[in-house]
């Protein structure tokens, strides 16, 4: 397949749809945008949004950028696919687990969220032959294991920080809306900072302990611990074992898969 000059990589997650623009040969997004995931949005709604992005990103009207999508929300897939088919005369490529050129040690590979595999593949490309633990702070917090840069070994799924916070505030009517910024101390003097401390320091401590146990269980020496997701930079401040934060990891994984199939 001959690659276009540009790739539009689309990550359809449970909370956000992230769209990134790549140029062939450049492994970081030139531009990116985020939208809330809304299952009722039609292909015409998406067309308007996409046209705004194309204009802002200065893509020429005759430019036929490639479209590759990784989605964990099947309800959005039809409208997104229909958008490109109706208005641009081509159907995007939706990634599947079998598209990821890694060994997969998992009971039911088709159950793995494609986002988890794409994240791990990005790490395999950027840190060849490394044992790695990939932490994604999304709707769920996922911990995924990459062995020697070649094999996906499974992982851990935990309710995400915002998911937990929403559950808490919905059940406790007196609690206000809380943005997650890290308090300067673990022990705090007010309710809002107490919740911030519990969610962020608690999540950081949980990740650190799970990493220690994973390393012991797998008899590893010193794996790379890399984090992604919207809150990854904040949680890194509350963790002692997260080494690298890459908020574009998912989009970069889509880019590498696009390049590999060119």
How is the chain split into domains, by residue range? 6-94, 102-252
Residue 129 has pLDDT above 80, yes or no: yes
The mean pLDDT value for 55-78 works out to: 93
User: Percentage of residues in the chain with pLDDT exceeding 90?
Assistant: 84
pLDDT at 99: 94
Average pLDDT over the chain reads: 93
Please report which confidence band the pLDDT of residue 174 belongs to, taking 50, 70 and 90 as the band edges: low
Q: Buried (b) or exposed (e) across 63-82, using 16+ Cβ within 10 A?
A: eebbbbbbbbeeebeebbbb
Inter-residue contact 231 to 240 (CB < 8 Å): no
Helix (H) or strand (E) holding 136: strand 132-137
Distance CA 184, CA 5 (A): 46
DSSP string, 61-108: TT---EEEEEES-HHHHHHHHHHHHHHHS-PPEEP-GGGS-SEE--S-
The dihedral through the CA atoms of 71, 10, 139, 44 has a sign that is: negative
The mean pLDDT value for 142-149 works out to: 98
Q: What CATH architecture applies to the domain 6-94?
A: 2-Layer Sandwich (3.30)
10-47: pLDDT as tens digits: 999 999 999 999 999 999 999 999 999 999 999 999 99
Same topology, domains 6-94 and 102-252? Answer is yes
Residue 179 has pLDDT above 90, yes or no: no
Inter-residue contact 106 to 152 (CB < 8 Å): yes
102-252: CATH topology is Nucleotidyltransferase; domain 5 (3.30.420)
Residues 6+ apart with CB under 8 A from 201: 182, 183, 186, 238
Indicate the pTM of the whole model. 0.93
The mean pLDDT value for 199-220 works out to: 97
44 part of the active site: no
Structure tokens, 164: 């937990």
Q: Looking at 11, 66, 115, 136, which residue is catalytic?
A: 115
């Amino acid at each position: 397949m001959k690659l276009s000059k540009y790739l539009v990589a689309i990550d359809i997650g449970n909370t956000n749809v992230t769209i990134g623009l790549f140029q062939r040969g450049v492994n970081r997004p030139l531009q990116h945008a985020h939208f809330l995931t809304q299952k009722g949005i039609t292909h015409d709604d998406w067309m308007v949004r996409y046209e705004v992005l194309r204009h802002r990103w200065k893509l020429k009207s005759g430019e036929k950028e490639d479209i590759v999508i990784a989605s964990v929300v099947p309800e959005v897939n039809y409208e997104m696919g229909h958008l490109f088919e109706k208005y641009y005369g081509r159907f995007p490529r939706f990634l599947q687990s079998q598209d990821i050129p890694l060994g997969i040690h998992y009971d039911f590979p088709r159950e793995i969220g494609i986002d988890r595999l794409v994240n791990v593949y990005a790490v395999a490309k950027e840190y060849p032959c490394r044992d790695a633990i990939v932490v994604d702070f999304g709707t769920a917090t996922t911990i995924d294991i990459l062995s020697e840069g070649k094999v996906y070994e499974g992982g851990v799924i935990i309710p995400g920080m915002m998911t937990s916070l929403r559950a808490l505030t919905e059940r406790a009517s007196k609690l206000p809306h809380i943005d997650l910024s890290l308090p300067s101390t673990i022990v705090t003097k007010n309710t809002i900072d107490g919740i911030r401390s519990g969610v962020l320091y608690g999540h950081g401590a949980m990740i650190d302990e799970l990493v220690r146990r994973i390393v012991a269980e797998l008899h590893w020496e010193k794996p790379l611990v890399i984090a992604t997701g919207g809150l990854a930079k904040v949680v890194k401040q509350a963790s002692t074992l997260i080494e690298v934060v890459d908020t574009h990891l998912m989009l970069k994984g889509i880019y590498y898969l696009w390049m590999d199939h060119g």
